[in-house]
């Protein structure tokens, strides 16, 4: 799939060199005004209609990042599809700073070509343009690709809209549950079943190579860790220890898997070399140590431990040495996830004196903590590979849902529903 | 021996066993009240078991196979210990193997809860071993928050879900 897209997408740099000379506006995190952009419905020739609306998908993507404020369609005065149809005055009037237009052409072989242009309304100059081609089934891929391009050209940060999301659903009454592991687009669309079971499935996680996933399955009535090839479905059991086998986490080079075993008496973190299957112990404490997450250096593990009496986040090297405590605010901090730049620690947090569990982000340099969610039973935060968005599981109107929030906190949106209780979201790495 | 001694209570004990069996295996979805093996208890209070279980009734204690915990705690409650004393004697006599299944409520993170469920099962195991049961008779498995008995999201549901089940 990935290779096909790569082959099909031929980006043509149509802009003149002078246009590219203009520096793109670079937004650093913490800047608080969303960029107004108009994503105009794309023109269409050669077909009566298409099953997807790429401009809508692109607008949603840009909105989800928290950096953009897409203009509502009813406020658009004109609907240009080509640069020569643009009247800049129309866009200045509605406050748009950027304009994204496109034209779709249905080809003789049934594929669709989209030619798109990104323009700066103030300077009236083209920022970027490209042409992408794909099948009707790939329209969402084409749209996410264009959104990635716009995101990167305007903010300087690589877009993460062509990524995937793993999640688990539980359906049926509590006495007769069915569990399903899915892979979908990052926004929950086009979900594909990877595994079904009558026993719990949890902690799915993508390897950084994008080819494999690891997860915990109770299919043998005991928790065991499995590794599965995403494309072929081929799977193998990689742990079979007495007690807990849980919380798998891939090292940045995908060569190692950290996980939790309680075979030596209580939950400790271990690391397996995937090539040799050799396992060595990392933590050694009578408290619960769990939920490892790798730092980019390939030897630091962040993890949850209640060695202080309550769950808090610690970090330790797999090569030995004392664990250092990282979180001090609140009486419950668990399930640590780092942003790609390792400046922000995202976790599940409970404030002193409160009963609710919320997604929070801690600035690791300043130590400051921000609450990202407005819900109260949050779990399983997962950070987009570009660090701009967080998806987590929570409850809304009595149902388990996935919530997407931008790391700057501006956007909170429920991912469109799939039947059943949805939980355990896990973001893929960049796949292109 | 024990059963004969308390023969008078067999009917009650059978009835209770039946009730407990139904709650753990039944496909009930409608009535939450039937899911609670200790209906009438006050959620979150130290005394988990209703007054219909006379403290002197060993058979009644034998019927108790689910032991409840406070939030983020693996401390055994007094009444759980009394029931476990009976199970400990039975297990020593029979030499049977049982599974101790640890569970948590839905709050907090799933993998931490997996560890907490195990800690609860271990607390029961430790107590039974102290009473003389062989560790080889006790298998532990934690389901964390993955297998609630009460599907709701109130303090009352959570109190029912924080438990260890002794399963034959």
For the residues of A30-49, what is the DSSP string, one character each?
T---PEEEEEPPPEEESSS-
Instruction: Give the residue from B50, B52, B44, B104 showing the smallest Cα distance to B70.
Output: B44
Whether B26 contacts B20, CB under 8 Å: no
**What is the percentage of chain A residues whose pLDDT exceeds 90?**
85
Q: What CATH architecture is A164-427?
A: 6 Propeller (2.120)
Mean per-residue pLDDT over chain A, rounded: 91
Tell me the C-alpha distance between B96 and B102, whole Å.
Answer: 19
Whether pLDDT at B54 is above 80: no
Q: pLDDT band for A432, please (50, 70, 90 cuts).
A: confident
Interface of A with B in 378-417 (CB under 8 A): 379-380, 395, 398
Q: How far is B64 from chain A (nearest CA, A)?
A: 20
> Which backbone phi and psi does A230 adopt, to 5 degrees?
-65, -45
**pLDDT of amino acid A75:** 95
Q: How far is A395 from chain B (nearest CA, A)?
A: 9
Average pLDDT estimate for B98-104: 97
ipTM summary value:
0.89
Tell me the C-alpha distance between A425 and A255, whole Å.
Answer: 23
Contact B119 A223 (CB under 8 A): no
Average pLDDT estimate for B112-118: 97
Q: pLDDT band for B56, please (50, 70, 90 cuts).
A: low
Q: How far is B119 from chain A (nearest CA, A)?
A: 8
Q: pLDDT band for A416, please (50, 70, 90 cuts).
A: confident
Whether pLDDT at B140 is above 80: yes
Average pLDDT estimate for A402-424: 89
Pick the CATH number of A2-155 from 3.40.50.720, 3.40.50.10070, 1.10.150.20, 3.40.50.410: 3.40.50.10070
Contact A291 B109 (CB under 8 A): yes
Contacts of B148 in chain A (CB under 8 A): 174
Average pLDDT estimate for A187-204: 97
Contacts of B105 in chain A (CB under 8 A): none
H helices, E strands: number in chain B: 6, 4
Tell me the C-alpha distance between A148 and B145, whole Å.
Answer: 37
Query: CA distances (Å), A65 to each of A390, A396, B127, in order?
Result: 9, 22, 52
- Of residues B106, B114, B146, nearest to A244 (C-beta): B114
Asked if B27 is an interface residue toward chain A (Cβ–Cβ < 8 A), one would say yes
Asked if A96 is an interface residue toward chain B (Cβ–Cβ < 8 A), one would say no
> Minimum mean pLDDT among A124-128, A311-315, B58-62: which range?
B58-62
Q: Which two tokens stand for residue A235?
A: 């799977």
Q: ∠ CA(A211), CA(A212), CA(A216), 5° rounding? A: 160
Average pLDDT estimate for A331-344: 96
Query: CA distances (Å), A213 to each of A51, A114, A151, A248, A256, in order?
Result: 31, 33, 27, 10, 13
Q: How far is B148 from chain A (nearest CA, A)?
A: 7
Task: Return the higher-pLDDT residue of A312 and B41.
Answer: A312
Residue pLDDT, tens place only, A101-115: 999 999 999 999 999
Q: Domains (ranges, CATH) in chain B?
A: 2-167 (3.30.1330.60)
Q: pLDDT band for A94, please (50, 70, 90 cuts).
A: very high
Residue pLDDT, tens place only, A253-307: 999 999 999 999 999 999 999 999 999 999 999 999 999 999 999 999 999 999 9
In chain A, which residue's Cα lies nearest the Cα of B27? Answer: A175
Asked if A173 is an interface residue toward chain B (Cβ–Cβ < 8 A), one would say yes
Residue pLDDT, tens place only, A198-248: 999 999 999 999 999 999 999 999 999 999 999 999 999 999 999 999 999
Residue pLDDT, tens place only, A6-31: 434 333 333 333 333 333 333 334 44
Whether pLDDT at A379 is above 60: yes
Asked if A30 is an interface residue toward chain B (Cβ–Cβ < 8 A), one would say no
Contacts of A311 in chain B (CB under 8 A): 108-109, 112
Average pLDDT estimate for B12-27: 36
In chain B, which residue's Cα lies nearest the Cα of A172? Answer: B29
Asked if B108 is an interface residue toward chain A (Cβ–Cβ < 8 A), one would say yes
Q: pLDDT band for A68, please (50, 70, 90 cuts).
A: very high
**What is the percentage of chain B residues whose pLDDT exceeds 90?**
62
Residue pLDDT, tens place only, A153-171: 999 999 999 999 999 999 9
Contacts of A218 in chain B (CB under 8 A): 143, 146
- Where do the structural domains in chain A lie, given as residue ranges? 2-155, 164-427
Query: CA distances (Å), B15 to each of B24, B27, B48, B85, in order?
Result: 15, 19, 19, 21
**What is the percentage of chain A residues whose pLDDT exceeds 70?**
92
Whether pLDDT at B31 is above 50: no
> Minimum mean pLDDT among A16-20, A89-93, A392-396, B126-130: which range?
A16-20
Contact B146 A200 (CB under 8 A): yes
């Amino acid at each position: 799939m990935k290779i096909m897209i790569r082959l099909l997408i031929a980006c043509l740099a149509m802009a003149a060199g002078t246009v590219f000379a203009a520096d793109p506006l670079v937004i650093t995190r913490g800047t608080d005004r969303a960029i107004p952009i108009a994503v105009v419905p794309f023109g269409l020739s050669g077909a009566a209609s298409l099953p997807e609306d790429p401009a809508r998908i692109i607008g949603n993507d840009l909105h989800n990042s928290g950096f953009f404020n897409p203009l509502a369609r009813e406020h658009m005065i004109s609907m240009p599809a080509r640069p020569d149809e643009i009247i800049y005055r129309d866009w200045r009037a509605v406050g748009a700073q950027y304009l994204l237009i496109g034209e779709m052409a249905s080809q003789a072989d049934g594929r669709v070509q989209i030619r798109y242009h990104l323009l700066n309304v103030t300077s009236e100059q083209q920022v970027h343009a490209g042409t992408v081609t794909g099948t009707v089934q790939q329209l969402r891929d084409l749209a996410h690709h264009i959104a990635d391009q716009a995101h990167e050209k305007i903010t300087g940060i690589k877009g993460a809209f062509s990524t995937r999301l793993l999640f688990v659903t539980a359906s049926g009454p509590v006495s007769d549950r069915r569990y399903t592991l899915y892979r979908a687009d990052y926004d929950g669309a086009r979900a594909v079943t990877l595994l079904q079971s009558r026993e719990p499935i949890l902690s799915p996680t993508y390897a950084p190579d994008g080819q494999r996933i690891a997860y915990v399955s109770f299919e043998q009535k005991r928790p065991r860790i499995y590794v599965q090839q995403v494309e072929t479905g081929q799977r193998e059991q990689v742990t079979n220890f007495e007690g807990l086998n849980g919380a798998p986490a891939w090292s940045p080079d995908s060569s190692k898997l950290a996980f939790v075993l309680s075979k030596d008496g209580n939950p400790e973190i271990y690391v397996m070399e995937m090539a040799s299957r050799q396992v060595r112990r990392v933590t050694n404490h009578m408290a619960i140590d769990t939920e490892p997450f790798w730092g980019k250096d390939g030897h630091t593990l962040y993890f949850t431990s209640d060695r202080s009496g309550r769950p808090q986040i610690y970090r330790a090297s797999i090569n030995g040495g004392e664990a250092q405590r990282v979180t001090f605010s609140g009486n419950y901090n668990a399930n640590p996830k780092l942003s790609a730049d390792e400046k922000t620690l995202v976790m599940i947090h409970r404030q002193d004196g409160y009963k609710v569990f919320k997604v929070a982000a801690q600035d690791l340099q300043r130590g400051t903590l921000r609450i990202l969610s407005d819900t109260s039973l949050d779990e399983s935060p997962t950070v987009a590979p570009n660090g701009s968005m967080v998806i987590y599981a929570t409850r809304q109107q009595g149902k388990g849902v996935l919530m997407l929030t931008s790391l700057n906190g501006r956007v909170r949106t429920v991912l469109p529903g799939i039947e059943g209780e949805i939980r355990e979201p896990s973001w893929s790495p960049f796949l292109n | 021996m024990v059963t004969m001694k308390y023969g008078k209570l067999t009917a009650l004990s059978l009835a209770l066993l039946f009730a407990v069996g139904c709650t753990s295996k039944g496909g009930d979805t409608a009535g939450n009240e039937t899911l609670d093996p200790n209906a009438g208890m006050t959620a979150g209070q130290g005394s988990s078991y209703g007054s219909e279980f006379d403290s002197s009734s060993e058979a009644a204690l034998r019927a108790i196979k689910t032991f409840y915990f406070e939030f983020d705690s693996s401390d055994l409650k007094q009444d759980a210990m009394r029931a476990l004393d009976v199970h400990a004697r039975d297990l020593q006599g029979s030499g049977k193997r049982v599974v101790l299944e640890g569970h948590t409520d839905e709050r907090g993170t799933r993998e931490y809860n997996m560890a907490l469920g195990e800690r609860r099962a271990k607390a029961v195991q430790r107590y039974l071993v102290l009473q003389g049961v062989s560790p080889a008779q006790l298998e532990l498995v934690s389901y964390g928050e993955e297998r609630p008995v009460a599907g709701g999201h109130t303090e009352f549901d959570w109190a029912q879900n924080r438990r260890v089940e002794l399963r034959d």
